[in-house]
Structure 1
Amino acid sequence: SLDIMALHFISFKLVSIIIIIIDDLPVWYLGYSSLYNNSFWDIIYLISGIIIPCIVIKIKNIFIEKIRGI
């Protein structure tokens, strides 16, 4: 769905921001789709692209259930 795609995009950008901060890169590097092509950062991109959307959707569902239960 569109929600999951948007959350993937946000997750990947969060990883890119972390890389930019760690490597002291210019902010315009945030426009790149992926900053590195090595296994460590690929795994971090993969994990964040799966875990962050799952967590956000789970939290959203909990709030929706609580609101409907009121």
Structure 2
Amino acid sequence: MRVQLEGIGIRDKSDLAAVTHPDMSSLIKSKRWRLNIVGFKGEDDQINIGPGREEGAALKIFNDGIDSFNVLRQ
């Protein structure tokens, strides 16, 4: 799943994203990029991955990679 997301990803201009994904483009190609492109954003010491909108390819890849989940209630 991660490799698939990286294949359609763009990174922000943070140093962390540049170091962890040096071959990934940092250019946004259109205003509708969130439909088909995953955003990789450096935040402090971690990468935030934004899979985009509900009807987009990136979110489908992300959701298809979920094997199971547990509902937690307080």
TM-score by length of 1: 0.31
Larger RCO, structures 1/2 (Cα 8 Å, 6+ apart): 1
Structure 1 or 2: more strand by fraction: 2
TM-score by length of 2: 0.30
